[in-house]
Amino acid sequence: MANARFDAVRVAIAKQPVEAEHPGEETSSYYGCNVFTRATMRKYLDEDTRRAIYETIEKGATLDRSIADHVAVGMKRWALDMGATHYTHWFQPLTGGTAEKHDSFADPRGKDESIEKFSGKLLCQQEPDASSFPSGGLRNTFEARGYTAWDPSSPAFIMGDTLCIPTVFISYTGEALDYKTPLLRSDAAVTKAASELLDIMGYKNEVTHSYLGWEQEYFLVDKELYAARPDLVLTERTLLGHVSSKNQQLEDHYFASIPPRVLEFMKDLEFECYRMGIPAKTRHNEVAPNQFEIAPVYEAANLAIDHNLLLMSIMKTIAERHGFEVLFHEKPFAGVNGSGKHCNWSIGTESGIGLMSPGKTDKENLRFLCFMANTLKAVHDNNALLKASVMTATNAHRLGANEAPPAIISSFLGTQVHAAFEELLESKDMVKIAGKKGYSLGIPQVPELSVDNTDRNRTSPFAFTGNRFEFRAVGSSANCSGPITILNTILAYQLEKFTEAVRTRIASGAEPLQAVLDETRETYRACQTICFDGNGYSDEWKAEAKARGLDCESSVPVCMDEYTSEHTLEVFTSTRVLTEVELESRKEVLWEIYCKKLGIEARTLSDLVNNHIIPVAIKYQNILLQNVRALKEIYGDDFQRMAASQMDLIRCISDDIAAAESEIDKLDAICARLDEMGEGRDAAVLYHDEVVPLVERIRSHVDSLELMVDDEMWPLPKYRELLFIH
């Protein structure tokens, strides 16, 4: 019997590793060769222009239009030298991923004349036809047009034959339509808030930025097997499929040696990363079979995010060459671990002070405890919003499941930092001027704070790891800008409140550092409930978190309400990161995306079950029926005994078919209702409350059929095939 599934499996098994294209040369000889780096700028831009650009990158200074013209000339010359023929503004719409609209450098002027045209104006601004990007009603209310504007703080790069210019994407009236705009604003808010506080502490003229080191998890699946699974193709996850008898029980995949085909893929990937200036550093197998991770060295958050998005698109192309499909979905396979994108986040100064790193002196450690307490307070006060920032239809499969951070935000500090805070709470008379040595805080342990990096709690969604927080709840397919913007903003807001309180203390006569210390103590006291060092997956924690007043909502669409809560509005408008209209529109877009994703899943599942699964189950059942009939013909009365298990099987198959059919009918009916409802909150809630559980129930019947139907007849590649072939 012809079986598409077997053909796909056969091709996949027969594959040899495709040798990586990467050269044997040293990385430094090609690192960043496709990027308009500072070294390249030295060749193509004059000194004044370069200085103006650096000012913009480092201090956020506005770039003069005449400078932009100079940059455009140099950038164009470089791009043409590199063989580029087109340029594009590269931006991050709220749909996720990146978008680009290519224009040719050539400006056909009729006749036989064509000049390579690219001016400062074209570098700085473009008007892509933006009406099909989601805007949460923003462009309906305002103008249909949106435009992209150059972000000089992220360098241009060349992909294929195209010069890509990182840009923000805003509506004609200035509202953010993308992820980058609020991220840049939030970084500016941190810069402002942190420098005021640092100034009081005696650190003058420090420029603070947020930093990010992401860890990208992903699955690889053979291209042929992927193509034979309509659910993977259309939804990036398997909507059906019984867990294989072996999955990750042995944990033999984690950090095991990398399969040769995958290794060649990784080498090519790293080569391409280096050419793009992405500082890829670690690669390894992850816990689930076919699951891997790539992580770079951390960078300024804006750049790190551009690099992550760039990496995600590069990966797709390179995987293709090696006969793989990359899955960024948070939960492509039920029953095995899902994928996250841990965001290692910190703030620090351009002069090199890590504001989340303990120091050597008392004063440095006061600074450390002060920024820690502020971060914890910010997370405490906005824990529902922070959770909303990672809640999506796809990540919901991970959050709250027994493998990844729970759908409750808490923070793990580790024994030493926790002890230091406890000490701080109890000490009273603390700042004593100790001669020339500076201030003694009177907390004996604190100056010795060397944080043990092995003190880890894998169940915590927001864990302190020595010099940064690791936000583990972020999903593998996410644009990290969402959560990082929120972290930056809530911290900036909290720092402003803190600084205000410190100023009040100083005004009533306190020494500045004493004031900071006292305020740090009170800040920590007010937010201790966010700290939790125990097992975040346990049921006891769920009960306790509720008692502590932490947000325990697990419905994705309901979590989105937090985007426009009174407190969120106050935080975002006072820091000028997002206006009320922008927050409102973001929430609308998130509901819309949630509805779209679940709508596609529901329809895909309904088609699969009706067209692939049930016909095959019936075919197999007919074979069994024939068998029973034949047994009866030949063995007469004795057939009852001989056909008992066949008849059982026939009954079970009927039961599952009937149950699946009836649930599919319900699903189709709800979908018809949803078609009339639009894609706002009500629809999203209906998807969450009714469609999600129905999809799961239908799956359980199909998975039960998978165990009964003849393996040769089953139309879809199974888990053991998808997950174990290299």
Binding stretches for Mg ion (CB under 5 A): 215, 342
Nearer to ligand ADP among residue 345 and residue 532 (C-beta): 345
Q: Give the C-alpha distances (Å, rounded to integers) separating 258 from 83, 150, 262, 263.
A: 36, 40, 7, 6
**Which residue is it, tokens 């079979």?**
289
Distance CA(504)–CA(700), nearest Å, equals: 62
SS (H, E, C) 162-181: EEEEEEEEEECCCCECECHH
Note whether 344 binds ligand ADP by CB under 6 A.
yes
**Binding residue for ligand ADP (CB under 6 A) from 120, 354, 482, 717?**
354
Determine contact, residues 252/285, Cβ cutoff 8 Å.
Answer: no
Dihedral of the alpha carbons of 604, 606, 608, 613, in degrees to the nearest 10: 160
Which position's Cβ is nearest ligand ADP? Answer: 213
Instruction: Name the minimum Å distance from CB 465 to ligand ADP.
Output: 7
Which position's Cβ is nearest Mg ion? Answer: 342
Nearer to Mg ion among residue 345 and residue 439 (C-beta): 345
Instruction: Name the minimum Å distance from CB 470 to ligand ADP.
Output: 6
What does 468 bind: Mg ion, ligand ADP, none (CB cut-off 5 to 8 Å by kind)? ligand ADP
Nearer to Mg ion among residue 366 and residue 379 (C-beta): 379
Note whether 351 binds ligand ADP by CB under 6 A.
no
Question: For the CA atoms of the chain, what is the radius of gyration?
Answer: 29
Note whether 349 binds ligand ADP by CB under 6 A.
no
Distance CA(196)–CA(500), nearest Å, equals: 10
For residues 577-596, which are near ligand ADP according to CB under 6 A? none
Nearer to ligand ADP among residue 77 and residue 456 (C-beta): 456
User: Going residue by residue from 408 to 447, which x/- string records binding to ligand ADP, judged by CB under 6 A?
Assistant: ----------------------------------------
Residue 175: burial class (beta carbons within 10 Å; 0-12, 13-18, 19+): buried
**Binding residue for ligand ADP (CB under 6 A) from 13, 61, 250, 297?**
297
Nearer to ligand ADP among residue 298 and residue 687 (C-beta): 298
Nearer to Mg ion among residue 342 and residue 587 (C-beta): 342
Instruction: Name the minimum Å distance from CB 476 to ligand ADP.
Output: 14
Instruction: Name the minimum Å distance from CB 464 to ligand ADP.
Output: 11
Rounded to the nearest 10 degrees, what angle do helices 692-708 and 580-607 cross at? Answer: 30
Instruction: Name the minimum Å distance from CB 269 to ligand ADP.
Output: 16
What does 118 bind: Mg ion, ligand ADP, none (CB cut-off 5 to 8 Å by kind)? none
Note whether 295 binds ligand ADP by CB under 6 A.
yes
Rounded to the nearest 10 degrees, what angle do helices 362-381 and 512-527 cross at? Answer: 40
Query: Taking contact as CB under 6 A, which single stretch among the options 340-348, 379-387, 486-494, 607-615 is the one that binds ligand ADP?
Result: 340-348
Phi, psi at 213, each rounded to 5°: -125, 110
Phi, psi at 665, each rounded to 5°: -60, -45
Nearer to ligand ADP among residue 297 and residue 707 (C-beta): 297
Note whether 468 binds ligand ADP by CB under 6 A.
yes
Note whether 224 binds ligand ADP by CB under 6 A.
no
Q: What are the beta bridge partners of residue 100?
A: 90
**Binding residue for ligand ADP (CB under 6 A) from 346, 476, 481, 514?**
346
Contacts of 436 (CB under 8 A, 6+ apart): none
Note whether 128 binds ligand ADP by CB under 6 A.
no
Contacts of 518 (CB under 8 A, 6+ apart): 505, 510
Instruction: Name the minimum Å distance from CB 503 to Mg ion.
Output: 38
Contacts of 554 (CB under 8 A, 6+ apart): 396, 399, 400, 407
Q: What are the beta bridge partners of residue 91?
A: 99
Nearer to ligand ADP among residue 413 and residue 595 (C-beta): 413
Helix or strand (DSSP H, E) at 567? helix 566-574
Residue 645: burial class (beta carbons within 10 Å; 0-12, 13-18, 19+): exposed
Of the CA atoms within 13 Å of residue 257, those in its CB half-sphere come to 3
What is the residue type of 14?
A
For residues 469-488, which are near ligand ADP according to CB under 6 A? 470
Distance CA(601)–CA(591), nearest Å, equals: 15
Instruction: Name the minimum Å distance from CB 341 to ligand ADP.
Output: 11
What does 295 bind: Mg ion, ligand ADP, none (CB cut-off 5 to 8 Å by kind)? ligand ADP
Instruction: Name the minimum Å distance from CB 468 to ligand ADP.
Output: 4
If we measure between CA atoms, which residue out of 491, 426, 418 comes closest to residue 451?
Answer: 418
What is the residue type of 283?
R
Nearer to Mg ion among residue 304 and residue 318 (C-beta): 304
Contacts of 76 (CB under 8 A, 6+ apart): 87, 105, 116, 118, 163
Query: Taking contact as CB under 6 A, which single stretch among the options 168-176, 258-266, 289-297, 568-576 is the one that binds ligand ADP?
Result: 289-297
For residues 59-118, which are near ligand ADP according to CB under 6 A? none
Contacts of 137 (CB under 8 A, 6+ apart): 584, 585, 588
Instruction: Name the minimum Å distance from CB 255 to ligand ADP.
Output: 11
Instruction: Name the minimum Å distance from CB 709 to ligand ADP.
Output: 41
User: Going residue by residue from 201 to 220, which x/- string records binding to ligand ADP, judged by CB under 6 A?
Assistant: ----------xxx-x-----
Instruction: Name the minimum Å distance from CB 497 to ligand ADP.
Output: 24
Instruction: Pinpoint the alpha helices (H) of 246-336.
Output: 260-275, 301-321
Binding region for ligand ADP (CB under 6 A): 211-213, 215, 282, 295-298, 344-346, 354, 467-468, 470
